[in-house]
Structure 1
């Protein structure tokens, strides 16, 4: 009896060799893609995706094929090939994801999705802040002791800035009370906002480029040094540096305390960090990253 016309299947061994021949080509394509996406500063010629892929391929053991195979064996052989190819794809994807997670620019972009000490950061390339906006001052001043009584927590005064020229307390609908300290330097204002960390989002920063992670633990970033001293709340952990003007949104309550409105203004270069896991600090009006980090690292006394 003649066989049906069309493509005739080859011997089982040929089919297995052809199937196995696809895997090296797929692996090489994943290696090339991994090299193109590998993070900066990598060592050697291998990408992270390639190293993960090599480990997975090393674990793969060829499965012997029975001759002649029956229908059930052919189905199992196809399943094994699909399972092996799935492992190769999974290895490549895991490697690529590892590269993306460990690449600093992408790691910084995680802030776009999560709050930082009660501040929400949104990445919007179309956001256009107003040019030439200045740092707002504090208005009528209170004593530091009175500000602490009204806010319910003692304000932190960085030693690098000294005694503030003005101190105010405003009620914020989502963060409770906001304490603002102001200094006048050569005709411009340095402003430090403080409020309890870990509360609901009270401020929203809309930026055209991701902020920069800065560590307050080491010596990178420059600054005036650091250390602990009497009354110091302790520093450490990450900070966020916003080098460019950006849009700052916040909530306002009228004098009666009933009506809540959302306001927006342009903010200049800003450093954002937390102290002791208790207070979020937002420093504005210091254009130098090195000096801003030095202020954040300097001992701070509670009043």
Structure 2
């Protein structure tokens, strides 16, 4: 569900403030906590939801699982493509934000097949991740910033980073299977 309240946009698990970042972006991104590699089958078993792949990108070059609970279930599954320039994050959405972003150009956009639409951010933006204990990790816009965020009726949230234009990001997002 996408919510727009004033300068705040929300998709389950992600909160975006339409304002200029306070201060400068960090020089070095901090990785998500307890990240490890896996294959797609293992990622799906561990995540507890169906891990999807953008068909237009082909198989991922790397699959990352981050911030596991005591039973090993990751909070975030990341698929990496194009030498690390494209990331596709997936997680079971919830009401409290895992990710907070600040982007003055954030906008609500329509995405076919997604009744509530999506959020598009065209420029670099800071990202803060809150882990299971509430510890916050601040990172730069890892891939020069452009990001498309949406969720599904199954309460899975998707974040696609690394495409320069909204049109290209939407085309790839619509190939997710």
- Which bracket does the TM-score occupy, shorter chain normalised? 0.7 to 0.9
Q: Which SS does the other structure have where 1:157 is aligned?
A: coil
Deviations 1:135-161 (A, max 9, x none): x79x75311111111111121111111
The 8 Å contact of residues 105 and 123 in structure 2, kept in 1 or not, is answered as no
Provide the aligned C-alpha RMSD in A: 3.1
Deviation at 1:128, TM superposition (A): 4.4
Q: Which residue of 2 aligns with 1:196?
A: 92
For structure 2, the residue ranges without an aligned partner over 5 or more in a row are: none
> In structure 1, which of residues 224, 227, 244 is the aligned counterpart of residue 123 of structure 2?
244
CA 1:111–1:132 in 2, change beyond 3 Å: closer, same or farther? farther
Residue 115 of structure 1 aligns to a residue in which SS?
strand
**Contact 2:36–2:65 under 8 Å retained in 1:** no
Q: Distance in 2 between matches of 1:113 and 1:297?
A: 25
Distance 2:54 2:48 in 1: 19
Relative distance call for 1:199 and 1:171 in structure 2 (3 A) is farther
CA contact (8 A) 1:171 1:177 kept: yes
Which residue among 125, 137, 162 is the counterpart of 1:285? Answer: 162
Q: 1:115 aligns with which of 10, 13, 17?
A: 10
Query: Could you state the TM-score of these two structures normalised by the residue count of structure 1?
Result: 0.48
Q: What's the offset of the Cα at 1:132?
A: 8.1
Aligned length: 167
CA distance in 1, matches of 2:110, 2:27: 29
Instruction: Give how far 1:177 is off.
Output: 1.5
| Superposition deviation, residue 250 in structure 1 | 0.4
Taking a change above 3 Å as real, the CA distance of residues 236 and 295 of structure 1, as seen in their structure-2 partners, is farther
Q: Deviations over 1:81-130 (max 9, x none)?
A: xxxxxxxxxxxxxxxxxxxxxxxxxxx96363453222111233353453
**Once superposed, which parts of structure 1, at least 4 consecutive aligned residues long, lie more than 4 Å away?**
131-134
Structure 1, residues 24-65: CA drift from partner, whole Å, max 9, x if none?
xxxxxxxxxxxxxxxxxxxxxxxxxxxxxxxxxxxxxxxxxx
Which of the residues 5, 10, 22 maps onto 1:127? 22
Hey, which of these two has a bigger chunk of helix by percent?
1
Q: Return the alpha-carbon distance in structure 2 between the equivalents of residues 200 and 131 of structure 1.
A: 24
Q: Which has the larger radius of gyration?
A: 1
Q: CA shift at 1:200, angstroms?
A: 2.0
Residue 44 of structure 2 aligns to a residue whose secondary structure is: helix
What's 2:140 paired with? 266
TM-score (norm 2): 0.78
Q: Equivalences for 1:20-31 in 2 at 5 Å?
A: none
